[in-house]
Structure 1
Amino acid sequence: MKGALLVAGTTSDAGKSVVVAGICRMLARRGVRVAPFKAQNMSNNSVVTLDGGEIGRAQALQARACGLEPSVRFNPVLLKPGSDRRAQLIVRGAAVGTVGAEDYFLRRQELRAVVATELATLRAEFDVVICEGAGSPAEINLRATDLANMGLARAMQLPVLLVGDIDRGGLLAHLFGTVAILEPEDQRLISGFIVNKFRGDVELLRPGLDRLVELTGRPTLGVLPYTDDLWIDAEDSLGTVADAPVGRPGPPVGTEWLTVAAVRLPRISNSTDIEALACEPGVAVRWVSEPSRLAGVDLVVVPGSKATVSDLEWLRRTGIADVLRARAAAGAPILGICGGYQMLGTHILDRVESNAGAVDGLGLLDLSVEFAAAKVLRTSSGDSAGIPVRGYEIHHGRVVRRGDPAWFTLDGQPEGSVRGAVWGTHLHGLLESDRFRRSWLRAVASAAGRAGFVAAEDVSVAAVRDGQLDLLADLVEDHLDIGQLERLLADGAPADLPILATDVVHRSVSSRD
């Protein structure tokens, strides 16, 4: 088997990432040398790769599905939004500046060359490359700068499978309309559809899919059923809905639950840090965005942020900061991770991310942080009272003074802070260290007065993640037409795909160089 294809979506969060992960895992289980690729991602959920760069979290999961270590090759362009108009631009894993729409337009040729080179080397090294689009190809206002959807597909002549989320409603119109709005050369590459998150009897959908073939000339390769069991490694902030539970926790091992409220910051980053807690039986995790939702919970987590100073002000404006202070005074557990850790400190000096200068933190930890232009990007391992820990760091803020005891050591150096029942660290992925997580949860339960909570001894976050990847692969095996998928990989888009004529005159915008 040899080839490549692109999985695009009718909308953001339509299921592109999980479909790519499922296809990759299915092929890897068959012995195919397969790699993932997302030319350009926009997400504040990222990981540090072994080659010292930064990529989107979804591409790290897809690499795991392929049996590969994360690499900057799999996501050469990453945008990390810090505001509604500006984003940090990461190219081949390294931050190269902050851009707005006009800046990005001016750099499009440079970035196209980066994307083309990386995809070409992957295709030469692997049997199959499964590419993921970004957002939706129907965003024709962005076609001139498109690196990840039809711009990539047309440049590399990739067949495209279009995924739609039927759980949202209006799917058939989304599929038809996405094809119809594209210019003819782009339409020629849309080779088929995948329906995601279907509930009920698929035969009730069959007449609509048959009519879709009549209207577009394109088949539906499969209908993937809705399942509650897929939740780990959310790609971006769309997966962090306020008041929504995280995961599907099993019943407690002991007699009491441990409740966790994770603060849904406006510019939240690496929200996936809390997912390890949701893997634990008897631990109920929920996203919150207003202070009343913090009442009575056992633990509050303040996660990372791409706009630390701005999100700190949001905590104050919403009243959540006052609740955090009251919790700390009462000895109720709080955890801050990365940007959340910085907010819990006494002083922040930021002339890099926000240009706000000196800012007072919440004062729950005796900590001073100063932002530097160079970003810390590293994977690290360490020790906490004889228990191994590991994770990765992505931050501009440096600890310049720590008045509280360190939480643990990292690469032989003190890391994090502890004051009473308030903990903080810059280390992402810390809670995926299973022994450490269990030990810490016992301390949280003790501080929260939950003597009846018992930490399970057999939970492995890595095993949960692999179980979800295998579930995705099973869904692909059982519900997609693998024969048609293999033909698209081998032969590319069919030559006889019809062009949908509409009353709208298709005008090429991709030629505006």
Structure 2
Amino acid sequence: MIDPEQAAPALLVAGTTSDAGKSVLTAGLCRWLARQGVRVAPFKAQNMSLNSVVAPDGAEIGRAQAMQAAACGIEPGSAMNPILLKPGSDRSSQVIVRGRAIGEADALTYRSYTDHLRRVSLEALAELRADYDVVVCEGAGSPAEINLRAGDLANMGLARAARLPVLVVGDIDRGGVFAALHGTLALLEPRDQALVAGFVINKFRGAREILDPGLDMIRALTGRPVYGVLPWLDGLWLDVEDSLALGADRGPVRAPVGARSLRVAVVRLPRISNFTDIDALTVEPGVDVRFVTSPHEIADADLAIVPGSRATVADLAWLRERGLAAAVIDRARRGAPVLGVCGGYQMLARSIDDRVESGAGTVAGLGLLPTRVVFAQEKTLGRPSGIGYGHPVHAYAIHHGAVHADPDARTEPFLDGHLFGAVYGTTWHGALENDAFRRAFLADVAARAGRDFTCAPDTDFAAERTRRLDALGDLVEQHLDTDALWRLLEQGPPHGLPIVPPGGPGGAA
């Protein structure tokens, strides 16, 4: 049994690669435990993601941790994701600690933060372990990124510091899953290997009897069990962590296309952020959502969306270089609907004064709204609410750019932003998750686009999210060895696990 006098048990879900299924498995474990009456919380020490959310405590954290908190049936907080990195270019990221930005860092300067951030992450984990019965931790990327091991905060560095048992999940749909599992273990130092309790295989489709010999062989080669095989199921996970989960021409879910469908084209910006804003559209029957990178796809859609961006000025330049800006402008001039959200809203302005994010100074926007944007040093974080089309709207805001209407602007209000012709703009994220508002907005879009489209009257996005979280809990309950998982939580890392050569940089045992 779990001793209530001790720090709550915890385990770490690591993965062979990014997008192997760590977030999904973590959420599934959280849901399964919560349904057993366990007070459980998620944790990710360090997250690199452009999808974030504002928690009730005012902290900016990774969107995936907020949804894992929902799987636990609790509110999210800064302790669940104490370090968030938001890439602004290929070489630098904004560093957010306990929900507040502390500056920009590249790969080299970030090393100077490491000791401080390690303390922050371990303190946050200890805080959760004092408040909850179990903590399910999610790793980042792969634990076998041996060039980064010395400064690792989220994978084996965390596991060793907190003595956590580790599950390694591999995506069999990518191919080479057995090599990935074995190779991940073999590259770890012996003391790290000693914490790896076993494996989970994700996204399996096919005949299980064909897979079984491989499971037997990986057990024999590593001395570690496979805790289970999760089957492939479409459309399970909303709130994905990064754009690896998006295909070049599609969103997280594709609705069936028909004569009465409403076609939505979302520009897939290089530094696209909070594209989870689109999730609510993907669950609407008859709404066909595509993430696009070509002008003709923008021209052909009933609604074009320019989403958020971590690098507004740079992504605006990319829009122009690819001919996408001209396609968006052409849409607006012929009265075809365009929606800009946060960074995308800023791009629609006449001018952008950015001496903070890009340092570019004043640059021309697309000129589709009679507004100007000025970037502030202090980031705006909030959970605003208001009225849209006569319906209550609850959202969240994360931005440096403040939008100001021209003195002579003749626009209509749209949430906190503007509607000018058929061009809509708002800084609010998550607004489309409000069902009545979403239906009214899509009805307005369809009318302006001249489409015969009516939303389903009973689509409930919150209920759909709950259904998917329950499905993740079902996967864990039905396909993993939950008795063995309980033992892992109660007893910690197994003793006497064999070391797999070559044993990483630390050499053989």
* TM-score (normalised: structure 2): 0.96
Does 1:373 find its partner at 2:377? Answer: yes
2:36 paired residue number: 30
| Other structure's SS at 1:205 match | helix
Q: Per-residue displacement from partner, 1:160-190 (whole Å, max 9, x unpaired)?
A: 0000000000000000000000000000000
One-letter amino acid of the structure 1 residue matched with residue 368 of structure 2: L
Q: How does 1:285-434 map to 2 (within 5 A)?
A: 285-402=289-406, 403-408=409-414, 415-434=416-435
* Separation in 2, partners of 1:404, 1:212: 67
- Secondary structure of residue in 2 paired with 1:196: strand
Count of residues in Structure 1 that have an aligned counterpart in Structure 2 = 500
2:285 aligns with 281
Alignment of 1:186-225 (within 5 A): 186-225=192-231
Q: Is the 8 A contact 2:186 2:504 kept in 1?
A: no
SS of the aligned residue for 2:301 comes to coil
Aligned residue for 2:5?
none
Question: Is the 1:246–1:287 Cα contact (8 Å) retained in structure 2?
Answer: no
Partners in 2 of 1:458 and 1:77 — Cα distance? 38
Once the two structures are TM-superposed, the CA of residue 505 in structure 1 deviates from its matched residue by: 5.6
- Structure 2: distance between partners of 1:491 and 1:433: 44
Percent identity, aligned pairs only, is 59
Task: Sort the Cα spacing of 1:348 and 1:112 in 2 relative to 1 into closer, same or farther, 3 A.
Answer: same
In the TM superposition, what is the alpha-carbon distance from 1:201 to its structure 2 partner? 1.1
Deviation at 1:291, TM superposition (A): 1.2
Distance 2:315 2:255 in 1: 29
User: Residue 62 of structure 1: which of 47, 54, 68 is its match?
Assistant: 68
**Offset, 1:507:** 5.3
1:449 aligned partner, one-letter code: G
Q: Aligned residue for 1:491?
A: 491
After the TM superposition, which residues 215-254 of structure 1 pair with which residues of structure 2 at under 5 Å, given as runs?
215-249=221-255
2:438 matched to which residue of 1? Answer: 437
Greater displacement, 399-408 / 434-443: 399-408
Distance 2:505 2:43 in 1: 33
AA aligned to 1:488 is L
Q: Is the 8 A contact 1:42 1:78 kept in 2?
A: yes
> Is 2:186–2:503's contact at 8 Å kept on the other side of the alignment?
no
- Counterpart-to-counterpart distance in 2, 1:203 and 1:157: 35
Equivalent pair of 2:414/2:425 in contact (CA under 8 Å)? no
Taking structure 1 as the reference length, what is the TM-score of the superposition?
A: 0.95
Task: Report the AA paired with residue 456 of structure 1.
Answer: A
* Deviation (angstroms), 1:109: 0.6
CA RMSD in angstroms comes to: 1.4
For 2:80 and 2:151, how far apart are their aligned partners in 1?
20
Counterpart of 1:364 in structure 2: which amino acid? L
- SS of structure 2 residue aligned to 1:407: strand
CA–CA distance in 1 between the matches of 2:504 and 2:46?
29
Structure 1 contact 240–264 (Cα < 8 Å) conserved = no
Deviations 1:219-268 (A, max 9, x none): 0000000011214211111122211244142677xx61100000000000
The 1:161–1:96 alpha-carbon spacing in structure 2 relative to 1, beyond 3 Å, is same
- Post-superposition CA distance 1:341-375 (Å, at most 9, x none): 00011010000000000000000111101001100
Cα distance in 1 for residues equivalent to 2:235 and 2:317: 36
Residue 460 of structure 1 corresponds to: 460
Contact 2:83–2:96 at 8 Å: present in 1 too? Answer: yes
Unpaired runs of 5+ in structure 1? Answer: 410-414, 509-513
CA distance in 2, matches of 1:305, 1:504: 38
Distance in structure 1 (CA, Å) of the matches to 2:424 and 2:279: 18
- 1:367, 1:404 within 8 Å by CA — same for their partners in 2? no
**CA–CA separation in structure 2 for the residues paired with 1:364 and 1:97:** 32
How many Å separate the matches in 2 of 1:301 and 1:322? Answer: 14
